[in-house]
């Protein structure tokens, strides 16, 4: 792919003034619902959709958003998403498009690619995947053929749908074997994974999870993959933002291919990307286009470039540090509230906890928390893989609340709020509203 024509770390690509701090400033009252360019025209033309937009904006501001995969993008990212680049068809790659008039979107994509390469130390980056699942699909298409054997984390232990679910293309096209975590510690057992790899001799090994709260030992996975002659694919959708901020191990030096999302902790637009060595660059690019996707979404590609530029700043590094510090504090607060945390804590933004000691199944717990304005997910917990005895708990993350400027003191309050809401304390909703009132996602001056 041709090189970008200009440096991606120049002052002209710096963040807006508000983003120079490591989080949005506090406000004494909740900000009015966000409304972007053209909103008044939308409200006049289509009030039903305008009301849905306003309602969702208010919902995000009025509660605690603790879904581990969600975050608040910067106004600059939102501006790129809502730009005229959404109008441009750009099948292909910079300098080799199937449509004319692509000179400026070519620059935007080259900029995104070069920023991603610099941020993660990768020889090649493809920023076109529409989602993390699209990125994984392209990685499999580049390296595997239908029927090949793949070793990945078992879904009941925290694997993603693309790691072998029978309802997903992965489980239908490839022969997956699942590895898990130790049922007592909740930690990955690398020797057990090695034994599975030696027994099954997979064509590829996938390391990554949607609910594993500890750092992954990519070097150990690399050794296992080399021993059995397998490709190593890192699905780093969750930790990639922490990697950018320097607080999590980087899979790029170890994995043949790294798949990731550009939202979550990375705080960019919803989308995916793939990082790899120069030796696999052409195979990866052809697997994305034309094999699995058509035209790139150029407004999203430009928004990815903005997010990569933001993630390269000291402010983002400070943010990533706060995310992990907040997660540790929240894990301690959950334990104090009577909710055991798996693995005894977390290294990342992500926490999983057991609601059974409070006499609640995970779905009931999620419903009680939603009623209190606390939004999070359920997840599988380490234990039996049999569906009849499978354990579930709650999964939550600190990326979004950290973007809002909350710190460890607020995490202690949130842990207590979660405990109160699960015990049906009638004051929980009011206490949630009082907390978030001081931390609007988009302050009025943003």
Specify the pLDDT at position 385: 56
| Options 4, 261, 300, 398, the catalytic residue | 261
Our answer to whether residue 264 is catalytic in this structure is yes
Q: Measure the CA–CA gap between 139 and 136, rounded to whole angstroms.
A: 5
Which range of 25-29, 56-60, 183-187, 370-374 scores highest in mean pLDDT? It is 370-374
| Options 62, 91, 175, 408, the catalytic residue | 91
| Options 22, 70, 114, 235, the catalytic residue | 235
Mean pLDDT within 344-358: 97
Return the sign of the alpha-carbon dihedral for residues 38, 130, 94, 274: positive
Longest CA pairwise span in the chain (Å):
64
Mean pLDDT within 287-293: 98
Using CA atoms, how far residue 51 sits from 55, 70, 291, in Å, is 6, 22, 39
Our answer to whether residue 140 is catalytic in this structure is no
Q: What number of other Cβ atoms are within 10 A of residue 151's Cβ?
A: 28
User: SS3 of 391, please?
Assistant: coil
Mean pLDDT within 5-16: 31
Our answer to whether residue 111 is catalytic in this structure is no
Specify the pLDDT at position 34: 57
| Options 18, 43, 62, 89, the catalytic residue | 89
Among 281, 9, 217, 252, which residue's Cα sits nearest to residue 121?
252
For residue 328, how far is the Cα from the chain centroid? 18
Our answer to whether residue 89 is catalytic in this structure is yes
Our answer to whether residue 437 is catalytic in this structure is no
Q: Tokens in use for 107?
A: 């620059």
Residue 426 has, within 13 A of its CA and on its CB side, a CA count of 0
All residues at 6 or more sequence positions from 175 whose CB lies less than 8 Å from its CB, including other chains: 147, 148, 149, 150
Mean pLDDT within 1-11: 33
């Amino acid at each position: 792919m041709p090189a970008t024509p200009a440096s991606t770390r120049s002052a002209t690509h710096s963040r807006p003034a508000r983003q120079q701090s490591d989080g949005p400033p506090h406000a004494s009252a909740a900000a009015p619902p966000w409304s972007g360019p053209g909103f008044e025209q939308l409200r006049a033309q289509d009030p039903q959709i305008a009301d849905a937009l306003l309602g969702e904006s208010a919902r995000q501001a009025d509660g605690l958003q603790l879904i581990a995969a969600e975050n608040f993008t910067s106004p600059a990212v939102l501006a790129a998403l809502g730009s005229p680049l959404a109008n441009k068809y750009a099948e292909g790659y910079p300098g080799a498009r199937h449509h004319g008039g692509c000179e400026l979107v070519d620059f935007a994509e080259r900029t995104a690619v070069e920023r991603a390469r610099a941020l993660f130390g990768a020889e090649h980056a493809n920023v076109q995947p529409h989602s993390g699942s699209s990125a994984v699909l392209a990685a499999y298409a580049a390296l595997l053929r239908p029927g090949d054997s793949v070793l990945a984390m078992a879904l009941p232990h925290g694997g993603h749908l693309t790691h072998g679910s029978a309802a997903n293309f992965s489980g239908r096209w490839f022969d997956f074997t699942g590895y898990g975590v130790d049922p007592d510690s909740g930690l990955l057992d690398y020797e057990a994974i090695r034994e599975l790899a030696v027994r099954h001799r997979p064509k590829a090994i996938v390391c990554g999870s949607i609910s594993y709260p500890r750092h992954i030992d990519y070097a150990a996975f690399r050794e296992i993959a080399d021993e059995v002659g397998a490709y190593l694919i890192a699905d780093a959708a969750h930790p990639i933002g922490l990697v950018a901020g320097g607080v999590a191990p980087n899979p790029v030096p170890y994995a043949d291919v790294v798949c990731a999302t550009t939202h979550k902790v990375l705080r960019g637009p919803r989308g995916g990307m793939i990082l790899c060595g120069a030796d696999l660059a052409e195979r990866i690019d052809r697997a994305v286009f034309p094999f699995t996707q058509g035209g790139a979404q150029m407004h999203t590609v430009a928004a990815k470039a903005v997010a990569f530029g933001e993630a390269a700043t000291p402010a983002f590094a400070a943010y990533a540090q706060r995310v992990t510090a907040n997660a540790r504090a929240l894990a301690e607060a959950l334990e104090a509230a009577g909710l055991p945390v798996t693995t005894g804590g977390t290294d990342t933004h992500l926490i999983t906890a057991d609601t059974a000691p409070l006499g609640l199944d995970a779905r009931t717990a999620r419903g009680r928390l939603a009623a209190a304005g606390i939004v999070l997910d359920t997840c599988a917990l380490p234990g039996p893989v049999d569906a009849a005895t499978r354990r579930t708990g709650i999964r939550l993350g600190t990326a979004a609340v950290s973007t809002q400027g909350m710190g460890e003191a607020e995490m202690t309050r949130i842990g207590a709020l979660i405990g109160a809401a699960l015990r049906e304390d009638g004051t929980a909703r009011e206490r949630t509203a009082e907390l978030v009132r001081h931390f609007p996602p988009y302050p009025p001056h943003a």
